[in-house]
Amino acid sequence: MFPGQGAQYPRMGKDIYEKYEEAREIYDKASEILNIDIKKLCFEISQEELSKTENTQIAIAVTSLAILEILKKNGIEPDMCVGLSLGEYVALIYAGILSLEDGLKLLKKRGEYMGNLVPNEQFSMAAVIGLDSTKIEEICEKLQNNGLFVSIANYNYSMQTVISGNKEALEQATINLKNLGAKKVIPLNTSGPFHTKKLEKAKEYYEKELEKVELKKGNKVVIKNIDGMPYEESDNIKEILAKHIISPVRFDKSIKFMKDKGISTFIEIGPGKTLTGFVKKELKDCNIECFSTDNLGELEEILNKL
């Protein structure tokens, strides 16, 4: 499982980079492909700079890819893989559907467009805890009918859903959702209206970038964000990736699919422990093992156990 935006923090992956040659090679390759000093991006800049969408997407992806190389060298291979938003690109690179070069170049443009081609309004996002998503959908629809913009951006798991909107709409949604029984509504440290119709312009620009890349037949099962099901040979992958910019992430359905397929060991590859948190909460009654790779100690625990 590959994390998405919000998992980033300064110096992420630095201890792994310093120990493993395979990781260093990925940072060097990525720097060469993008003509960016990825080490500086991940290890030296401030949280504020790192959290700019155009920086975040590349930094998290390269960190994940570097850790992935170490797991591959040690023979740890999955039955299937999934990423949250930008993390899906790491999964597509891993599966051989996208080349490393095309995948990183796409993410660079994706981050630029999602960060900059946004209507000039003040947007924010919030995580809604402890309320069924169908009730959240109803609140969003009512507020939209009243001329306010608020929309679901991420279905993380059954009891956590992320909404995105302008300031007034989110304030009103927070009141309504708490009245309906939401345990918490937590503002998130992200500013764009990600995975909503407000990014239609970014989607249009991004479609032109997708036209430039060649997609290949993959060698791994990759679960799509857009519906929580695996990519099929008949899928128009470029169309799906473009649509994904304006469509919510269905990580809740991804978890259900993995559970239904009997997956019992989950490894989050990259910074943070967000996705393992979602899986543990959703599958708390199942016999599963979850691992994260947020630091060198956690990575080496995986290598020792698996």
Longest dimension (CA), the chain: 56
For residue 271, how many C-alpha atoms fall within 13 Å in the half-sphere facing its CB? 25
DSSP codes, 98-115: S-HHHHHHHHHHHHHHHH
| Nearest C-alpha neighbor of 248 from the set 136, 172, 146 | 136
Catalytic residue at 85?
Answer: yes
- Residue 215 is given by DSSP the state -
The single residue of 51, 64, 85, 151 carrying the catalytic annotation is: 85
The single residue of 51, 124, 133, 195 carrying the catalytic annotation is: 195
Catalytic residue at 46?
Answer: no
Altogether, the residues listed in the chain come to a count of 306
By annotation, the residues acting in catalysis are: 85, 195
